[in-house]
Amino acid sequence: MADDDAIRCDACPVLCYIKPGRTGACDRYANDNGQLIRIDPHVVLDRALSRGDSVVPFLDPNREWDGNIVSGPDTFVTAIGAGTTYPDYKPAPFIISSVVQGVDLVTVVTEGIFSYCGVKLKIDTDRYLGPETNLIRAQGEPVGHVTTSEYGSQMLSLGGVRHLTGGSRRQGTVTCETLLNLCDRKPVELTVDDGATIIVEAGKPPVVDGIQEQRMRVGCGSASIGMFAKQWQGKVDEVVVVDDHITGVLSEHQAGKLLGIPETGIEMKGRRSTPGRYFRVAEPGTAWGGTNIEDPLSILKEFDPQIAWPKLRLLMVSTTGEHHAYFELDESLHPVEKNLPAELTESVARIESLKTRCDLPIPSAMRLRVSPVEERPCTCGPAVASPSWSTSLACPSAPLDMCPLQPSSLLSNLLSS
């Protein structure tokens, strides 16, 4: 014991000195009146009991353990959830093996050490959350960053060693608290530097800058043109689907060409990628189609007077159908906003209803990564991936997947737990 009544925990190589009434760096061990105790509850049994599952007795409470293997042939016991000091020089406190029908069963004892864990949030919203790579803060502390958007969803990467242990103690504590709250399905407020404030809660639509998301796009502007072109044919001369990624223009798009929709002389701002598909018509934002535009006409140039004609009918709509406006060209070929004709009301409503049904805007991929503890860590991934091996991994709280880039790590989808 140290001079100030602190005791040393030797459960892992950090070797904390813990004062009375305090916990060690990992909050797993504490000094209780000079006694080193483990403080986190062992909840696996609690969960099993609360579900009404049966529990296998470890040992007859009326006799001392004589040192022999306790499980009989009719009882299958594992050490899953028993805990370990995580990869170091000491063996796990419980290692259990048994033979079932002639097959060796070995428990891979794991304990997710939070300093290596992270959560990736898939936020289904068209509203712009913030520039890629910018910091995300919780309670003012950096806890992650905006990472690459994936197929229409914005992705946030939270946690990891830099935020959990690489900064101040408060930063690590807030990061850990944020991850735990997210995984416990509690709401968490996150702020992106130069971006939005988001309230994220597993299984619920995100709240972006105070507005609860209602729906998300089923595709980019180009894909929307492809899906809805037939419904617009004959009812309108031109359609522009406004989108932060790819804005679609019906008459130029391949879908319009196949339907024989004539040219309209429309001229778009932004960068033309391929016919009817435009990049960067505006900056990202929280308005039309995930852009910063409030006035859809701001992304149009003058119509070509050699091609366009007065009374040309133009529909502009966002990828969610949330924003839409109908125009007709006047005698000088300037768009004038008019009421949406009844036949177009139906097609816009269809976009909205389709998106509402198909794309519930929830953070749907929340994953925590842990690593299995084993004698030869590199063998775990190949063993599971190999078609000639019959190996499966289990976790008491959630289904597991292998991390494709790092096979010795496991991905656990916490929304399924």
Residues that bind ligand SF4 (CB under 6 A): 9, 11-12, 14-16, 24-26, 28-29
Q: Are 227 and 272 in contact (CB under 8 A)?
A: no
CB of 186 to ligand SF4, least distance (A): 25
**CB of 26 or CB of 216, closer to ligand SF4:** 26
Torsion angle of alpha carbons 286, 288, 294, 299, nearest 10°? Answer: 130
CB of 354 to ligand SF4, least distance (A): 52
**CB of 14 or CB of 336, closer to ligand SF4:** 14
Q: Which two tokens stand for residue 416?
A: 């399924």
Ranges of beta strands (E only) in 224-354 are 238-242, 247-249, 271-274, 277-279, 313-318, 324-329, 335-338
**CB of 28 or CB of 245, closer to ligand SF4:** 28
CB of 225 to ligand SF4, least distance (A): 56
**CB of 22 or CB of 272, closer to ligand SF4:** 22
Q: For residues 357 and 309, give the distance between their C-alpha atoms in angstroms, rounded to a whole number.
A: 38
Q: Which two tokens stand for residue 48?
A: 């099993």
Burial track 91-118 (b if 16+ CB lie within 10 A, e otherwise) = ebebebebeeeeeeeebbbbbbbbbbbb
**CB of 94 or CB of 134, closer to ligand SF4:** 94
**CB of 9 or CB of 317, closer to ligand SF4:** 9
CB of 27 to ligand SF4, least distance (A): 7
Residue nearest to ligand SF4 (CB): 24
Q: Which two tokens stand for residue 244?
A: 């932060």
**CB of 88 or CB of 302, closer to ligand SF4:** 88
CB of 286 to ligand SF4, least distance (A): 43
Q: Which two tokens stand for residue 271?
A: 């960068």
CB of 167 to ligand SF4, least distance (A): 17
Q: Which two tokens stand for residue 249?
A: 């223009």
H or E segment to which residue 179 belongs: helix 169-183
Other beta carbons within 10 Å of 297: 14
Work out the widest C-alpha separation in the chain, in whole angstroms: 99
**CB of 170 or CB of 271, closer to ligand SF4:** 170
CB of 87 to ligand SF4, least distance (A): 12
For residue 237, the Cα-to-chain-centroid distance in whole angstroms is 40
CB of 17 to ligand SF4, least distance (A): 9
Q: For residues 259 and 243, give the distance between their C-alpha atoms in angstroms, rounded to a whole number.
A: 23
Using alpha carbons only, how large is the chain's radius of gyration in Å?
29
